Amino acid sequence: MTPAASAPAIAVTGLRKSFGDQVVLDGIDLEVAEGTIFALLGPNGAGKTTTVHILSTLSAPDGGGIRVGGHDPALHPDLVRAAIGVTGQFSAVDGLLTGEENLVLMADLHHLGRVGGRRRAAELLRRFDLAEAAGKTAATYSGGMRRRLDLAMTLVGDPRIIFLDEPTTGLDPRSRRTMWQIIRRLAAGGTTIFLTTQQLDEADELADRIAVLDHGTLVAEGTAAELKSRIPGGHIQLQFADADSLDAAARALAGATPDRDALSLQVPGDGSVRSLRALLDRLDRDGLDVQELSVHTPDLDDVFFALTGHPTTGTDRTTTESTGTTGTTEKEAVR
């Protein structure tokens, strides 16, 4: 455990950055405790990569106070670089080199020496389940393998703080889970992790604290539970075959909100078995014929919508990755 009095791994106040007359970061404050996972959540173009670049010394801010690993990146970039590792949004892997060669190259950059470098490369290849593929060129790796190699390269220097810019974007659900496991293990070992994601379930799954970035400002910051508590509760959605059934159900169920176009009815409820049973009993008793029922528990997508008034789709790109489960929050469809 980290002593409560220890300085935060990352502390940022009033961070500002513009490109030309486009304000990208408009006064950001955040703090990441040592050994914790912090998720910066935002849609395309929100400023996530810009934040990572500034905190990792790759780009200069226009203003604000920054401490990373206790040092100011503007004054002591070398000390910051010695404490951190960065896995960028776009791979740093050299496709023409083998997995092992990529790692040894990183080890050389960290002056680990010939023997030390090879040992470190072998250890990381094993740890990231890449030992078998070690001698193959990285261009032949799958997306998940490439992403693991990328992260392994970040860990060569044994950083205390790592930045992961969208570590799972483009990965299939299984590779995504593998990456989550790796990230959790790193944090359990005491590494501080600052990750960015567009995916609400990912932040929910991994992060101790989450900050929601929207158009250059943080619109919320807290634990997943705290963020969820800021929005209205869950509901049960009932689907009907025709308007008459919908109207009859709407009359019978107090507090329910009908949507006549969709022939659906939203009934407030926490999705517990008890409330579901009560609802089903009521529908039975009144002879109401429901076509479909689904339970909707609030998630971070709802939080984003509640906080910003718009969904998580960015404004500067029209496509989103297809791996996410961000679009729908319906669960347990029962026919």
Ligand X SMILES: Nc1ncnc2c1ncn2[C@@H]1O[C@H](COP(=O)(O)OP(=O)(O)OP(=O)(O)O)[C@@H](O)[C@H]1O
| Contact criterion met (CB below 8 Å) for 93 and 142 | no
What is the rounded CA–CA span in Å between residue 124 and residue 122?
5
Which residue is it, tokens 């970039």? Answer: 77
CA nearest neighbour of 150 among 135, 160, 165: 165
Q: Examine residue 316 and tell whether it contacts ligand X (CB under 6 A).
A: yes
Binding partner of 45, given ligand X, Mg ion, none, CB within 5-8 angstroms per partner class: ligand X
261 counts as binding ligand X under rule CB under 6 A: no
| Binding to ligand X, residues 49-68 (CB under 6 A) | 49-50
Of the candidate spans 41-49, 140-148, 249-257, 293-301, the one that interacts with ligand X by CB under 6 A turns out to be: 41-49
Binding mask 68-107 for ligand X (x = CB under 6 A): ---------------------x------------------
- What's the min distance (Å) between Cβ of 123 and ligand X? 31
Stretch that binds ligand X, among 46-54, 133-141, 231-239, 263-271 (CB under 6 A): 46-54
Task: Choose the contact partner of 329 out of Mg ion, ligand X, none; CB within 5 to 8 A by kind.
Answer: none
Pairing, β 264-268 against β 257-259:
antiparallel
Q: CB of 293: closest distance to ligand X in angstroms?
A: 35
Is residue 320 close enough to count as binding ligand X by CB under 6 A? Answer: no
**Span 139-198, contacts to ligand X by CB under 6 A:** 198
Residues in contact with ligand X by CB under 6 A are 19, 24, 42, 44-50, 89, 198, 316
